[in-house]
Copies of this chain bind each other. A is one copy, B any other.
């Protein structure tokens, strides 16, 4: 383990985060003289945090520079990734905390007055979960809201680069299946190849960002500020909004359709956009995960739409509306896409829907989006492989001698990969149950019902955001005790980094130098 090298690169991560804070601060300070006090205090919070981050980053960088070696191996990459999220969230939460700290007298009961809540909010941002501790988002200074959206955007970009460019190149965890094609010339070394792929992904991400901002501003008639914040939250499949009523605050078809479109796009494997940029349309057309992903979205929308049709639905604004045909299609499409892509925006309070639509949504939480997307969950391709393997296993009982290969599209899934997928699905179920159990044990006096605990665990682990019951679309995570917030933060990062990058840290073998 080349620890110094990891610390050097981690220093870079901190410096990048600080620079992003400076950028947000620059925007927030544009009308310093005329702005209200709260906005100015947010600017101060951002400045102080940026300074702390930059200093810490430089120290790490200087300490690590003496390593001399320039080697990025599997262990180094895993440790760097785990540190970036686990410790990066501490820095990303600092602006919230310093803002509340400066405001001391006015905000004695504010959620951001607690360190664990700020860490939770930052982790929720960087893991693109979108669960919030805030009961009144509208009252938060715009500088902090933009930073909050920015954490989503950075987290989403980081995940795509990590799972499409870095980990497959390093051959970590048998990711072959989830890789559309090894991008970049194969003769290069590890670092240049990663850099080249990351550059293309970054351009794609930036292009999509620009497109959605313009559409929301020009077609959706949002303000520039709201357009940027919601675009950041959409493309990262995050879910932080600038309004208490989430996307429901607009109640506009145009806004919802644009958001649905980009949520769906953000849930696609970014390797496919790479192929698109190279005009390899065949690879996209033949991709089995894309078909199944869109198929599940379609079927789930039909079931949910049928279930809510003709009944009364409560919108996020509190308005009651009888659900006609158009309204059923509108609400079900939005909510199904939002949950399956693990974004977590809401237009209707789906916690008040019937049993069937809620069961469908909870199922979708676990299915999740595509591998190599910014979305979370188990991922469509794993569900597909697991189901195929299970079906083959039933057949093997009466035909034990027939050798069968599992195919997904044109690719063959080797036994090692089959095992990895099954273990992953079981692992997610196990972590979900452990998380639920931990929450119920930690929260005092059995105040937490099972549905709330289970969906809080599921929504955190799968990076969705809202759950059911006490963590439903019209509620927030602020009421959890500090230890529970830490458990939920851990679930978020476990889900976001696909478990292993975090779990290896507790294995003694990982730290041994063999």
Contact = CB atoms under 8 A, between A and B. Distances in A.
B75 A398 contact: yes
Interface range for A:
35 or more
A480 interface: no
Nearest to A454: B450
A420 B392 CA distance: 10
A389 interface: yes
A500 B400 CA distance: 13
Residue from A172, A394, A399, A503 having most chain B Cβ neighbours under 10 A: A394
A427 B390 contact: yes
Contact of A390 (B355, B426, B507): B426
A509 interface: yes
A107 interface: no
B450 A400 contact: no
Given A397-B504, A500-B394, A507-B394, A437 B75 contact: no
15 contacts: A74-B397, A78-B398, A172-B400, A174-B400, A359-B437, A389-B423, A390-B423, A390-B430, A393-B427, A394-B499, A395-B507, A397-B500, A398-B504, A415-B415, A419-B422
Contact of A418 (B398, B419, B504): B419
Residue from A174, A398, A415, A425 having most chain B Cβ neighbours under 10 A: A398
B171 A355 contact: no
A29 B243 CA distance: 78
A223 B191 CA distance: 80
Contact of A356 (B397, B430, B441): B441
B425 A426 contact: yes
Interface string A407-451: 000000001001110110111011000000100110000100011
A78 B356 contact: no
A510 interface: yes
Contact of A173 (B397, B415, B504): B397
A74 B397 CA distance: 8
